[in-house]
Amino acid sequence: MAVDSMVRVAIIGSTGYGGVELIRLLQAHPRVNITSVISSSSAGVPISKGFPHLTNIVEQDLDDLDIEIIARNADVVFTATPSGVSTPLVPKLLQAGLKVIDLSGDFRIKDGEVYEQWYKHPAADSAYVEQAVYGLSEVYGDEVLGVDFVSNPGCFPTATLLGLIPAVEAGWIDTSSIIIDAKSGVSGAGRGLSLTAHYAEINENLRAYKVNRHQHIPEIEQVLSDVKGEQVTVTFTTHLVPMTRGIMSTMYAKVTGEHTQEEFVELYREYYKGRSFVRVRDNGVWPATKEVSGSNYCDMGFQLDDRTGRITIISVIDNIVKGASGQAIQNLNLMMGWEENLGLGYTPVYP
């Protein structure tokens, strides 16, 4: 570690949405020095040239991806790299003595065959998958303290799992009845160009995609099965919404036993007691994506339908903050034994 107790951080994938958001958040973090912003395609160029909003804030040049140099200049590396890229990269960083927080899906799924079935490319070395601690901070935060490698959760799983886990753990919902209807802003697809993210294709449009085929299904099922202690399967449908940031996950499940809506609110408030980033709304108040935009909050609300016996749980996050870079920094804080909200006290941008 650096002598002055500041942690030296390098970011790989600095020119993507997750990487640029890490820079925005970390440049204001009181215990972090960003020593290197790395690009595999634009090394040598000042980052503010491609991202003028960073002018006079971060004026570093983008560095090459050279693991020896990174290991000399950094203590912790964030890999904000696409799935498939992290698979061979992360083991090399760990072998070089670095701590790693990986934002991709490559180390989240513990069963390699399941990973390959959903991600359609080879799974990572199982020893590293085993080593990775799944960093859903409010649930597994205690396991993150002092470890070298955190696999940061996916954006949809973050909103969805935070919304379901307390009820599943308490046995208050029938897990065979869970249906998840999730919507994301376009930044969730990353900065690369694609036809679906093209303005004329997404503006004034609403599109379902990867129905029953989304790579976040096995991640959600893995965690819910772990919590429940038996296999849980879910129906999960994602939609692309014409907005830049934000995820709303709307979850439906049959309630088991006699529980009122007020009791659900109380159950969740108790579960997340002391965890400042989860805000459980008052009875009958539902959250909207703008109410968390630019922040690390996950807000949720409930509505019980007495006619059907189903509970509707609505959970919102900013996909790039709590769904990626913000939670990754929360995990850095937990890894280092700092307050989990250090450097993350952003009030949502409203309107």
Ligand X SMILES: NC(=O)C1=CN([C@@H]2O[C@H](COP(=O)(O)OP(=O)(O)OC[C@H]3O[C@@H](n4cnc5c(N)ncnc54)[C@H](OP(=O)(O)O)[C@@H]3O)[C@@H](O)[C@H]2O)C=CC1
Ligand Y SMILES: CC(=O)N[C@@H](CCC(=O)OP(=O)(O)O)C(=O)O
Catalytic residues: 155
d(CA 247, CA 288): 9
Task: Calculate the CA 335 to chain-centre distance.
Answer: 16
Q: Which residues does 125 contact at the CB level (< 8 Å), separation at least 6? A: 91
d(CA 116, CA 72): 34
State which residue, 35 or 327, has the beta carbon closest to ligand X: 327
246 binds, options ligand Y, ligand X, none, Cβ within 5 to 8 A by partner type: none
10 Å CB burial of residue 142 (0-12, 13-18, 19+) is exposed
Number of residues that bind ligand Y (CB under 6 A): 11
Phi-psi region of 48 (alpha: psi -120 to 50; beta: other; left: phi over 0): alpha
Element (DSSP H or E) covering residue 267: helix 261-271
For the bound state, the minimum distance from the C-beta of residue 252 to ligand X, rounded and expressed in Å, comes to 24
Instruction: Assess whether the previous peptide bond of 46 is cis (omega < 30° from 0).
Output: no
End-to-end CA distance of the chain: 41
User: Is residue 79 within the footprint of ligand Y (CB under 6 A)?
Assistant: no
For the bound state, the minimum distance from the C-beta of residue 210 to ligand Y, rounded and expressed in Å, comes to 6
For the bound state, the minimum distance from the C-beta of residue 57 to ligand Y, rounded and expressed in Å, comes to 26
The three-class DSSP label of residue 224 is helix
Residues at the site binding ligand X, with contacts judged by CB under 6 A: 12-13, 15-19, 39-42, 65, 80-83, 85, 103-104, 154-155, 187-188, 190-192, 319-320, 323-324
Q: Which residues does 87 contact at the CB level (< 8 Å), separation at least 6? A: 106, 121, 122, 123, 124
10 Å CB burial of residue 3 (0-12, 13-18, 19+) is exposed
User: Is residue 114 within the footprint of ligand Y (CB under 6 A)?
Assistant: no
One symbol per residue from 207 to 246: x for binding ligand Y (CB under 6 A), - otherwise; what is it?
A: --------x----------------------x-x------
d(CA 99, CA 42): 24
240 binds, options ligand Y, ligand X, none, Cβ within 5 to 8 A by partner type: ligand Y
| Residue number, nearest CB to ligand X | 16
For the bound state, the minimum distance from the C-beta of residue 33 to ligand Y, rounded and expressed in Å, comes to 27
State which residue, 197 or 342, has the beta carbon closest to ligand Y: 197
For the bound state, the minimum distance from the C-beta of residue 107 to ligand X, rounded and expressed in Å, comes to 11
For the bound state, the minimum distance from the C-beta of residue 323 to ligand X, rounded and expressed in Å, comes to 5
35 binds, options ligand Y, ligand X, none, Cβ within 5 to 8 A by partner type: none
State which residue, 93 or 304, has the beta carbon closest to ligand Y: 93
State which residue, 104 or 175, has the beta carbon closest to ligand Y: 104
The three-class DSSP label of residue 52 is helix
147-176: contacts with ligand Y (CB under 6 A): 154-155
User: Is residue 188 within the footprint of ligand Y (CB under 6 A)?
Assistant: yes
User: Binding residues for ligand Y, per CB under 6 A?
Assistant: 83, 104-105, 154-155, 184, 188-189, 215, 238, 240
